[in-house]
Structure 1
Amino acid sequence: MPTVSRSFATKLGSFGTACLRLLPAETAHNLGIKLLASPMFSYLPRPNLSPLFENMTSHVPGVGSLPHPIGLAAGFDKHCLAPHGFSRLGLSFLEVGTVTPRPQEGNPKPRMFRYPEQKAIINRMGFNSHGSERVRERLQELDWDHNQTPLGVNIGKNKSTTELAAIEDFNHGLQTFRGMAKYYVVNISSPNTAGLRDLANDEFLKQLAKDNQDIREKIWFKLDPDMSRVKLQSLIETICDAGFQGVILSNTHKVSWPEAGGQSGHPLMSLSNRSLEWAYQVHQGQLPMIASGGILSGGDILQKIVRGACAVQIYSALVYRGPWVVAKLLEELKAEMDAQGIQFLSDAIGTHYQA
């Protein structure tokens, strides 16, 4: 079968996105994953964005040198079903999961809701997962090339696991994917698993560091945007002292209306920015940060970068702007950089704090 042209693929993607929006949110999501995982998607050309955006290279410690700063947030490909498809969308790095040790169904449906007027999504999925063993088998079959597109695994705990036993679930996940992932993310921030956010404490972090000393430099923590400044900054200090790699800021915002769950999309932008600022006050640029939450434009990306992020992850932008949004975001980011006289994106990291 001949390779499909980029222009045709773009039109097809726009049409497909419009059709998917007619379906319930989770149904559309699952169908989109199946399309990305299908063999026919392998005939789409892999985009080479480097010549167009050569001033946007990003270095993420523990992840690698990236052609641009835009990666895939956890939650989109929970079961590692379509990493090749996502890499063909132009994303520079991927994160699969959240993966739990044992398979579980997650919360009852419906559990995902779109709010187009606000460019928002609310979900209460509850870590629906195929389990660590099945995901590990998929990664083994893929024999993934991290040099081309680094891939990380986001790890969580099972719903039935008590808070006291939670450390065992996370240790299990870290050991299961040892050598399979470029980096690991400990998810102690989802609002949809009872007791999970309670694990965001110094004692838990120190125990995890003790149990995983040999891979601490590959472990990131995804934190929530709802904690107080005092608590967040205390956790940042502990993460730095324990020798972990970095933080992802942030997960979804806990809401109870119009549906209960975690809110992502545009309304999360300010809370995520606040988390970046609070964290930077502590580490002063010494702890790598990946920004997630509310990124729907190139201008949004630059806001994250100037607040100290070395890369970003998107989710809602793929839902509301379509599968080929990466190139659009980079075009917008370039325009923002040109308007502000920024030659290299790396020069903009942390400039929000300069006098």
Structure 2
Amino acid sequence: MHRFLFALDPEAAHGLVLGFLAFWSERGPLLEVPARLLRVEDPRFRVEAFGVSFPNPLGLAAGMDKDARALGAWWALGFGFAEVGTLTPRPQEGNPRPRLFRLPEDRALINRMGFNNRGAREAATRLGRFRKRGLPLPVGINLGKNRDTPLEQAAEDYLKALRLLEPFGDYFVLNVSSPNTPGLRALQEGPFLDELLARLRPATKKPLLLKVAPDLSPKALDEVLALAKKHRLQGLVAVNTTLAREGLKSSLAGEAGGLSGRPLNRRALEVLRHLAEGAEGLALVSVGGVETPLDLWERLKAGASLVQVYTGFVYGGPLFPRRLLKGLLSLMAAEGVSRLEDLTR
């Protein structure tokens, strides 16, 4: 099956898999048997971050299930939480195709999707149905602005999406760091970010996080930290995809868009360690290049409360979460860690 999917256009393969998982997710009894086989349930994994309890620290990153179509499947496959989106207040098509590229020689992807999604209102309806089913999967919601909204009016877009989705998320992430929406990364800069957070923070009592780019300098990261503390955010998600292309082998390395996967591993860990030095009460969610149990373990030891995967799951397949969590148990035992809560506190 993996070979067949990798013979298809990447976006077509993604649509096929997501369609199957969405169908599976809507049929509750069909989730129970695979969940018993695939989920690694262990009380040693339980962690709490920004007031939310997570059955394990491994989550699905935003971008895989933009419209919250397959939440039941993510639970059955073993994830401790899932982040949906990026969702914008109005539906939008995103950038022209082709816009998603595999780089198998580098275990990487390049995407320039451009926040394609069916809009916050449709996602709210779907999330409401999921909540009624009572599956124990914490859900984060990643928010963005529509492409045609000027930066000066961006806060209104984030507010509109937040108001529609606020009842359904366990936490919310402001995506100001995607490289695929023109000008969006300017929202990470001091004046824009200060105004955005001043508008958004009072709009919800639920945990509010900010997703940052891997391409920020140490000084810029420190400025983000300072503003996150000033506006009483609960955490940071680090990192988004990168514009860097150093050391790639693939002939597709020159494609425009954000790079994810193995080449991002080192930079994601560097950013995490830098942020952890000054986090002081902010929870850190690490994402970028996580492929092995050791990668997961390193992120947790470096200060992450939670860790997300995307590209590693694309290449690793449906058993990927189970392999990572089984391996994590072995690493915890080898280092004498009886429960993750002691490590992430």
TM-score of the superposition, structure 1-length normalised? Answer: 0.88
Listed one character per residue, the Cα deviations across residues 302-324 of structure 1 (whole Å, up to 9, x for unaligned) are: 11111110111111122111112
Q: What's 2:302 paired with?
A: 307
1:118 aligns with one of 89, 106, 121: 106
2:7 match: secondary structure: coil
1:341 match: secondary structure: coil
1:264 match: secondary structure: strand
Listed one character per residue, the Cα deviations across residues 145-179 of structure 1 (whole Å, up to 9, x for unaligned) are: 67711111110011111111111111111111121
The amino acid of 2:164's aligned partner reads T
Q: Which runs of 5+ in 1 are unaligned?
A: 1-15, 351-355
Q: When the two structures are aligned, how many residues end up with a matched partner?
A: 333
TM-score of the superposition, structure 2-length normalised? Answer: 0.90
Q: What's 1:243 paired with?
A: 232
Q: 1-side partners of 2:234 and 2:131: how far apart?
A: 24
Q: What's 1:196 paired with?
A: 184
1:79 match: secondary structure: coil
Q: Which runs of 5+ in 2 are unaligned?
A: 246-252
Q: What's 2:9 paired with?
A: 24
2:186 match: secondary structure: helix
Distance 1:144 1:229, change over 3 A: farther
How many Å apart are 1:216 and its aligned residue?
5.4
How many Å apart are 1:29 and its aligned residue?
0.6
Q: What's 1:155 paired with?
A: 143
C-alpha contact (below 8 Å) 2:151/2:183 kept by paired residues = yes
C-alpha contact (below 8 Å) 2:39/2:78 kept by paired residues = no
The answer to whether structure 1 residue 229 and structure 2 residue 218 are counterparts is: yes
2:151 match: secondary structure: coil
**Where do 1:48-127 residues align within 5 Å?**
48=36, 53-62=42-51, 64-127=52-115
Distance 1:18 1:60, change over 3 A: farther
Listed one character per residue, the Cα deviations across residues 243-263 of structure 1 (whole Å, up to 9, x for unaligned) are: 111110111111463211111
- Root mean square deviation of aligned Cα: 2.0
Q: What's 2:272 paired with?
A: 276
The answer to whether structure 1 residue 336 and structure 2 residue 315 are counterparts is: no
Distance 1:147 1:26, change over 3 A: closer
| Greater Cα shift, 79-88 or 182-191 | 79-88
1:94 match: secondary structure: strand
How many Å apart are 1:54 and its aligned residue?
2.9
Distance 1:38 1:184, change over 3 A: same
The amino acid of 1:219's aligned partner reads L
1:134 aligns with one of 122, 125, 128: 122
The amino acid of 2:234's aligned partner reads Q
How many Å apart are 1:141 and its aligned residue?
3.0
The amino acid of 1:165's aligned partner reads Q
How many Å apart are 1:60 and its aligned residue?
1.5
The amino acid of 2:325's aligned partner reads L
C-alpha contact (below 8 Å) 2:159/2:203 kept by paired residues = no
How many Å apart are 1:67 and its aligned residue?
1.9
The amino acid of 2:160's aligned partner reads H
C-alpha contact (below 8 Å) 1:288/1:309 kept by paired residues = yes
The amino acid of 1:121's aligned partner reads L
Distance 1:169 1:52, change over 3 A: closer
How many Å apart are 1:52 and its aligned residue?
5.4
Q: 2-side partners of 1:46 and 1:94: how far apart?
A: 18
Distance 1:272 1:144, change over 3 A: farther
C-alpha contact (below 8 Å) 1:305/1:348 kept by paired residues = yes
1:165 match: secondary structure: helix
The amino acid of 1:38's aligned partner reads F
1:121 match: secondary structure: strand
Listed one character per residue, the Cα deviations across residues 171-205 of structure 1 (whole Å, up to 9, x for unaligned) are: 11111112121111100010111100000133333
Q: 1-side partners of 2:132 and 2:195: how far apart?
A: 30
C-alpha contact (below 8 Å) 1:156/1:187 kept by paired residues = yes
Q: 1-side partners of 2:45 and 2:287: how far apart?
A: 18
Q: 2-side partners of 1:70 and 1:296: how far apart?
A: 12
Q: 2-side partners of 1:314 and 1:144: how far apart?
A: 26
Q: 2-side partners of 1:101 and 1:189: how far apart?
A: 18
